[in-house]
């Protein structure tokens, strides 16, 4: 049984006339009759009764017509879905955001992407650079926002922009009255920072920045998540630091102040697996290009 034979049968069943059906199918009448006979032979069932003057469906033919309609509909639907998947309009996309980009970049990008590709299932996760690199390497996510430097030969990396750390202080703190804070002013202050075990390079750079400013930082508390650190700061435990994009978080009892002098700065990048062939990855990068990063127009996610 061939798909074309099913299509031929449906046309004959609808027209109940081999001549008209053959004309619609752009076939000769003998060729059409031969294909219908081959279909009946493959089923070992007579589907049509025909004489020189009329054609009609047998009872078996009436039932098979229902099946034929269903088969053709499912095939057409399958073709449409296949094309949508190939065009990146359908599928699943797993994206790893950093904590800051989850609040700053994700809302606008995800909203725009969902409007353009509503049939793509988006799975968003939050984590650090090392976690995203490992998740990309093990195919747990498809795209990841990460901080440079990264040395992972299996990934394509495209830098986006630099993010600077700022201070977050209790509103009642004496330094909160200043528009900017000199790093040296924090010499004797209790500080809250990211755990050394989770970000050893960031932690080491923080210590280095403070030492260059002439003091050893007094870290009284470590916390992974910015919201936790902000809560601790609001409670008066100490001064903490967040990326400037986190200012959109309206943390009660906390004010944000930029720091004067050389302080921590991170370069954000987008990462994906080299030779990535998924159309949804390619289409997401297109949306990202339009929304936020025209410089992303050059890379192809499959490179």
Q: Is the pLDDT of residue 92 over 80?
A: yes
Q: Is the pLDDT of residue 219 over 90?
A: yes
Q: How many residues does the chain have?
A: 303
Band (275; pLDDT cuts 50, 70, 90): confident
In the chain, domain spans:
3-86, 91-160+267-297, 163-265
State whether CATH 1.10.10.10 applies to domain 3-86: yes
User: How does pLDDT run across 133-161, given as a tens digit for each residue?
Assistant: 999 999 999 999 998 888 889 999 888 88
Q: Is the pLDDT of residue 296 over 70?
A: no
Lowest mean pLDDT among 167-171, 179-183, 287-291: 287-291
Band (292; pLDDT cuts 50, 70, 90): low
Does this chain's domain 3-86 share its CATH topology with 91-160+267-297? no
User: How does pLDDT run across 16-71, given as a tens digit for each residue?
Assistant: 988 898 899 999 999 999 999 999 889 999 999 988 888 999 998 899 999 999 98
Residue 199 has a pLDDT of: 81
- Please, what is the Cα angle at 54 between 52 and 56, to 5 degrees? 130
Query: Tokens representing 63?
Result: 């039932």
What string of DSSP letters covers 179-241? SSEEGGGGTTSEEEE--TTT-HHHHHHHHHHHHHTT---EEEEE-SSHHHHHHHHHTTS-EEE
Q: Is the pLDDT of residue 81 over 70?
A: no
Round the average pLDDT of the chain to a whole number and report it. Answer: 87
User: How does pLDDT run across 242-273, given as a tens digit for each residue?
Assistant: 988 888 777 789 999 999 978 888 899 999 99
Residue 293 has a pLDDT of: 64
Q: Is the pLDDT of residue 283 over 60?
A: yes
Residue 160 has a pLDDT of: 87
The top-scoring range by mean pLDDT among 87-96, 119-128, 132-141, 242-251 is: 132-141
Q: Is the pLDDT of residue 229 over 70?
A: yes
Q: 67 in the Ramachandran plot: left (φ > 0), alpha (ψ -120 to 50) or beta? A: alpha
Q: Is the pLDDT of residue 285 over 70?
A: yes
Instruction: Name the DSSP letter for residue 96.
Output: E
Residue 302 has a pLDDT of: 52
Q: Which residue has the tokens 């004010």?
A: 255
Where does 163-265 sit in CATH, by number?
A: 3.40.190.10
Q: Is the pLDDT of residue 295 over 80?
A: no
Q: Give percent above pLDDT 90 in the chain.
A: 44
Q: Is the pLDDT of residue 299 over 60?
A: no
In angstroms and rounded to an integer, the radius of gyration of the C-alpha atoms of the chain is 32
Residue 85 has a pLDDT of: 64
Residue 84 has a pLDDT of: 62
Superfamily of domain 91-160+267-297 in CATH is Periplasmic binding protein-like II (3.40.190.10)
């Amino acid at each position: 049984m061939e798909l074309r034979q099913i299509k031929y049968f449906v046309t004959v069943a609808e027209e109940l006339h081999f001549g008209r059906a053959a004309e619609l199918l752009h076939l000769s009448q003998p060729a059409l009759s031969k294909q219908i006979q081959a279909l009946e032979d493959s089923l070992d069932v007579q589907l049509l009764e025909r004489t020189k003057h009329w054609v009609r469906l047998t009872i078996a033919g009436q039932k098979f017509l229902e099946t034929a309609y269903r088969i053709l509909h499912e095939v057409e639907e399958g073709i449409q879905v296949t094309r949508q998947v190939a065009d990146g309009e359908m599928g699943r996309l797993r994206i790893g955001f950093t904590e800051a980009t989850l609040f700053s970049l994700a809302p606008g990008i995800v909203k725009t992407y969902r409007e353009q590709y509503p049939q793509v299932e988006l799975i968003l996760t939050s984590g650090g650079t090392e976690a995203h690199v490992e998740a990309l390497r093990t195919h747990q996510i498809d795209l990841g926002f990460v901080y440079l430097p990264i040395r992972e030969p299996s990934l394509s990396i495209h830098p986006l922009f630099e993010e600077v750390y700022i201070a977050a202080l209790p509103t009642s703190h004496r330094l909160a009255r200043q528009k900017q804070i000199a790093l040296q002013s924090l010499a004797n202050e209790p500080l809250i920072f990211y755990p050394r075990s989770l970000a050893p390079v960031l932690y080491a750079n923080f210590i280095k920045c403070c030492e260059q400013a002439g003091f050893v930082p007094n870290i009284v508390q470590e916390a992974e998540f910015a919201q936790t650190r902000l809560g601790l700061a609001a409670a008066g435990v100490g001064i903490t630091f967040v990326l400037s994009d986190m200012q959109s978080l309206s943390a009660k009892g906390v004010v944000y102040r930029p720091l004067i002098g050389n302080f921590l700065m991170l370069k954000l990048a987008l990462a994906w697996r080299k030779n990535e062939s998924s159309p949804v990855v390619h289409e997401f990068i297109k949306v990202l290009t339009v929304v936020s990063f025209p410089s992303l127009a050059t890379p192809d996610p499959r490179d």
